[in-house]
Amino acid sequence: MENNNGQKIYKLTMLILIIIIITSLITAFTTYQYLSKNNNLITIKADTGSLEGLEYTLANFRSELDKKYMGEINDEELIEGAIKGYVDALGDPYTTYYTKEEMKEIMEETNGNYVGIGIYMTMEPENDVILIIKPIENSPAEKAGLQAGDIITKINDVEYKGSQLEEASNKIKGEEGTEVKLEIYRNGELKTFNVKRENVLISHITAKAITNDIGYIVISDFEGGCAEEFERKYKELENKGIKKLIIDIRNNGGGIVDESLEIADMIVEKGANLLITKDKNGKEEITKAEKNPIINMPIVVLINEYSASASEILAAALSENGKATLVGTKTYGKGIIQELHQLSDGSGLKITTNEYFTPKYNAIHKIGIYPDIELELSEEIKNQVVLEEKDDNQLQKAIEVLNQN
């Protein structure tokens, strides 16, 4: 008797799973029809005969849902869900579909202003966790004590994996003045933080003269306007009489590749290789420096394990062209490029389109950039929320290297 019941439960479970799969196919096909008619996304080349057969089959399933499904069918939600599932099925954590609302938030962040807690995050694929690259300076996250290297395990008591990065990001954002509860894994311990959401103003660059002749520029990210801000702040330092420069891209998770290349173009000789990219067909493109450099002085670039993507492009371009000494630890190793497309309905699609290589054809993806001078941050200061310059042994090493020139 128990065995028969078990078989009935098993058959019922399998039936439910089959229905779920069929429903997913229906919404996917509905999405294809919708997007094709409205030219919102892309034209997919396929076997027309096969599509006609599929259309007939799925139309019958949809007809049954319309007749018998007792709930309401929201076509817009089905379409959005289907597109997300369609793109997620590629298995690439960096290729993502964004709804209109998500795309709006991304554009606000790119333009340097949004409501949230002020952290840069990434997915750590090896362990499928959400990693905090760094809190934004003077943000609610920094004030609450969140640190680079923290792993977000739960948001408002709900567990999130690295593959749920976009969903997690949306949960962390919210109305100004409200709080979000984060569970953080740090150094073998779980900690809880309640952080108030605020309007966060993002500045890409901070700069100052660290000694009489050494300038210090910290690049937090490579979002829109970063290169222009870098040039402006460099010239301010130049007017103060600096003769040497430290560029700090530690904990910089990347951003817009062109912003990084524009900065490299200010330093590298005209005509030199800055970046090599290859697409899915192996087609190669070489980006070269287009201008005469405006920065001609000894440079040290500080890097660490959270320097990724556009940061690695800048570090490699300067290092391999003999324009900078790299100090710190091996970089993250994200050597693929995504293009962000805003679609006609306001939604967006971020697509992995190319793998990139250093000016000397060295691969970066899952490898990283190795420093010329490898130096770990001192253990006693790794957990400091605010790192004092005098305690920052990597920064002090950079000063030492420049003083030897």
In terms of average pLDDT, the best of 21-35, 82-96, 359-373 is 359-373
Query: In terms of pLDDT, which residue wins out, 59 or 162?
Result: 162
Question: Nearest Cα to 333, choosing from 356, 350, 302, 361?
Answer: 356
pLDDT-derived band at 382, boundaries 50, 70, 90:
low
pLDDT-derived band at 73, boundaries 50, 70, 90:
confident
Judging by beta carbons within 10 Å of its beta carbon (0-12, 13-18, 19+), is residue 5 exposed, middle or buried? exposed
Q: Are 200 and 109 in contact (CB under 8 A)?
A: no
169, 260, 309, 319: the catalytic one is 309
Residue 302 pLDDT exceeds 80: yes
Of 156-160, 174-178, 303-307, where does mean pLDDT reach its minimum? 174-178
Beta bridge partners of 392: none
Residue 360 pLDDT exceeds 70: yes
Query: In terms of pLDDT, which residue wins out, 294 or 378?
Result: 294
Mean pLDDT in residue range 96-103:
88
Query: In terms of pLDDT, which residue wins out, 222 or 27?
Result: 222
Distances in whole angstroms, Cα of residue 364 to Cα of each of 92, 124, 206, 311, 355: 17, 16, 27, 11, 9
Which domains, ranges and CATH numbers included, belong to the chain? 2-89 (no CATH), 113-200 (2.30.42.10), 203-403 (3.90.226.10)
Q: What is the pLDDT of residue 327?
A: 98
Known catalytic membership, residue 236: no
Q: What is the pLDDT of residue 17?
A: 41
Residue 345 pLDDT exceeds 70: yes
Known catalytic membership, residue 154: no
Residue 279 pLDDT exceeds 70: yes
Look at the pTM and tell me if it is higher than 0.75: no
State the chain's mean pLDDT as an integer.
84
Q: What is the pLDDT of residue 389?
A: 86
pLDDT-derived band at 3, boundaries 50, 70, 90:
very low
Q: What are phi and psi of 299, to 5 degrees?
A: -130, 140
Tokens linked to 354: 């190319």
Known catalytic membership, residue 76: no
Question: Nearest Cα to 148, choosing from 278, 404, 332, 399?
Answer: 332
Written as one letter, the residue type at 321 is: N
Tokens linked to 121: 């995050």
Residue 40 pLDDT exceeds 60: no
Query: In terms of pLDDT, which residue wins out, 99 or 79?
Result: 99
Mean pLDDT in residue range 350-376:
96
Tokens linked to 262: 């524009």
Rounded CA gap, 334 and 176, in Å? 33
Mean pLDDT in residue range 282-306:
97
Strand-pair category, 348-357 with 373-374: unpaired
Q: What is the pLDDT of residue 61?
A: 65
Strand-pair category, 119-124 with 129-135: antiparallel
Residue 8 pLDDT exceeds 80: no
Helix axes 165-172, 100-110, angle to 10 degrees: 70
Mean pLDDT in residue range 19-45:
40
Residue 6 pLDDT exceeds 90: no
Tokens linked to 305: 């394990």
Mean pLDDT in residue range 71-79:
78
Tokens linked to 373: 């001078």
Number of alpha carbons in the 13 Å side-chain half-sphere of residue 309: 23
80, 109, 229, 320: the catalytic one is 320
Q: What is the pLDDT of residue 33?
A: 45
Q: Are 244 and 299 in contact (CB under 8 A)?
A: yes
Q: What percent of the chain has pLDDT over 70?
A: 82
With residues binned 3-state (H G I as helix, E B as strand, rest as coil), the percentages for the chain, rounded to 5, are: 35, 25, 35
Query: In terms of pLDDT, which residue wins out, 315 or 80?
Result: 315
* Residues counted in the chain: 405
Q: What is the pLDDT of residue 72?
A: 85
